[in-house]
Structure 1
Amino acid sequence: MNIPLISQLLAHRQPSKNLGFAALVLALLLPASAAFAQTTVVNSASAQPPAGVLNTNTGADGAGKVSASDTDSVSVPPKVTLVKTASSSNFIIGKTGQYYDITVTVASGPTSAAITIADNLPTGISLSGAPTKEASSTSNGVLSGCPATGTTLAGCQIAANASSGTIVIRVPVAVGSTATTGTNTATASGGGDPACNGTAACTSTTPPVAVGANAIVTTPDSGTVGGVAGGTVEANIVGDDTIGGNTATLGGSGNATVKQDPGSPAWPAYIQLNTTTGAVTVDPASPAGTYPVQYELCEVANPTNCKTETVTVTITPSISVVKTASASSFTVGAPGQYYDITVTVASGPTSAAITIADNLPTGISLSGAPTKEASSTSNGALSGCPATGNNLT
């Protein structure tokens, strides 16, 4: 390369004078970017004396020009970047299998120092297991020291000498009922990257991640049982309900709990709800009627995620009838003869009218309208009975 400054200096030299030995040292500052992607740098320079000046250097060419080269090794530092993503744009409280992925990319590897991963999880979100290196990773970087519980990745690092490529870190999380957002930032530092010191160059934030609850879908239930004997109205009122698309199940390993809805009127004392099995039963000798009662279904993993539904319990009365005659032998033409028809209602009140039908034997006819006797114990009102004829239509 020609350096005019040297030529200018040599131009001041007079051939007739003995100037002795002189040395000129030039310092050239090169930008760092010129050395990237190289392992060695060779720089050559030459000096050309001006016309009329004889260069007696034995290394000079025929024109008196001398040249020199310098070879230097170049150290290229690794570059570390990372990207953090979530398994979904909407985390679900209590749902299993949710996670973050932190993808650390190493360029110009291997790294010369460990890479430290820092991450403070959002409120209500915690580790559900130790972060692991995914099989999709392309770098040989070794992940270690990651905690299995808690809300930070304190101690999590990738060992030095990680080759160029990616290290995908899967961070399994549990989303609790206090979580309001899953948006989160992770930071990588070290690795020998001079720019990777916890600043924005080595920080990544997930796209927005909302937090919601599993959808609870319920179905109204109903059933009928006789009030005298009582019995089961519905074997499991949550059997046709779902939480997050899964059938609601009760008990120790279930995903749901059920109880009488505390915000609705209390259930009658003779209608029972088994909170372990979901069965609705009616006690024996319970009064007839239709009872729409409310139950509350809640998610075990998110106890505040609840829904209220109705089960309609119908209790029917029991009706029996006994007919007797005033004597075991009727006398033709004798006055004061009659039949008694005793209708017994159990588990009343009745929900509809009771119709009495009776066709009298041949030769026997009504001598007046049937009446309700004073010995009756039910408040049932008798009406519409004919006073003549041979039937009770």
Structure 2
Amino acid sequence: MRQTWRWFGPEDRVTVQTARQAGAQGIVTALHHFPPGKAWTVDEIATRQAQIAVASDAALTWEVVESLPVSEAIKTRSSEWAEHVAAYSKSLEALAESGIRTICYNFMPVLDWTRTDLRAPLPAGGTALRFDLASFAAFDLHILRRPGAEMSYEQDTLAAAEKAAAAMDDTAKKALVHAVIAGLPGAAESWTLDDVRAALGTYSALSPDILRQSHIDFLSEVVPLAERLGLRLCCHPDDPPFPIMGLPRTMSTLADFHEVLGAVDSPAFGATFCTGSLGARPDNDCVAIAKALAPRMHFVHLRNVVRETPGIPCSFIESEHLSGDVDMVGVIEVILTEEARRRAAGREDAEIPMRPDHGHDILTDIDAGAQPGYPAVGRLKGLAELRGVMAALARKAA
């Protein structure tokens, strides 16, 4: 696997030079200052490429885009749909002209990802990302006060949410709101609870089937272009992989991926295989899903989770890379086998880019202020563990 490292741009407190010291072979980034629906330009892409080259003494390059966001107008088929699809196509053309071939995106409505605690304390010290179902329900029911929210939860969760809300002071409520809206596009500070309510309202009449068809319609427009340009688009799973706040979910299971991949059957379209997102759902067997998606796997996120409650939805915390509920060794073995198959077939994409996704804040990460889930030492620890697995499996296969 090609070992890459996510970098959020010049404002990221974990630098490109840190990525180089960690042994990364390439950089994963995006033009985060461009709002969804606006076309990226060759000049702006070149500026970001130059920043990476200068910071790494030309040792690293921008290899994967994460992400080129799909606007809400595209997801909801609003009046700006055609304009935003055209802008997306222009961005793809600019990336192809700039030599960047792998583009990750997601089709999650409103929220790109959701957690209730961005720095949950760990027993040995340090912190981790966590999703607590009772806390999230407390946000939904008692802070956001979403109409009809009580219909989204079982009775035991409603009771736990009421108890959790009663125990929160103003500081705890503000921290919970900040954690939840951190997954919103753009600066979290720019969103109010009224903004969130309004955004949710645009999906009130959209079923999962309608959202899925919007996804397929979008892909039907941009994938032929991507194929002509020699690009690889890859969709990230829902995170978490179950409905939240009444929003439809369409990329949470293997069946979901099969339906969309089958509808848009092209080598230019595939999956971003994320073990942590898929692994947060107990009926997702990540090894089996990796085997099924292997031929269409264009990018890999390797992280692990421990599910703290049964059922769907559930609470979960992000674990060390080799100690969670996902069989990480089994997943990596599947991916290495797929790479060997591609090499034998002479495929240009035989080496699949991966990155160590997320990591605990440990040692000097603590209070360093890095992007939640993206510390320096915690990710390096995860990458080192994953490298060990890859080396052992490679020797076994030799």
The two structures have a TM-score, normalised by structure 1, of 0.16
Structure of higher RCO (CA pairs closer than 8 Å, 6+ residues apart): 2
